[in-house]
Amino acid sequence: MSDSRQQTRNSLRAGLCADCLHSRRVESAHGSVFILCELSLTDPRFPKYPRLPVLSCDGYKKKP
């Protein structure tokens, strides 16, 4: 699968987090991939590991 198709699949699964400035992709030892929301470190309204896909979020900021 090409990179761009893979990226499209990832965005569909993660929703807004996929291209959010505050998201960090974390890979577990078992190979599963999840999103860590870095806003959660400073703002308790945001879960550390949001349930994906996130479809609406007040903290969302598109990556430049």
Residue 41 vs residues 10, 13, 22: alpha-carbon distances, Å: 24, 23, 10
d(CA 60, CA 17): 7
Contact string 41-60 vs ligand SF4 (x = CB under 6 A): -----x---x---x--x-xx
Q: Does 17 bind ligand SF4 (CB under 6 A)?
A: yes
Long-range contact list for 8-11, CB < 8 A, 24+ apart?
A: none
Q: Which is nearer to ligand SF4, 2 or 23 (CB)?
A: 23
Q: Which is nearer to ligand SF4, 34 or 46 (CB)?
A: 46
User: Is residue 37 close enough to count as binding ligand SF4 by CB under 6 A?
Assistant: yes
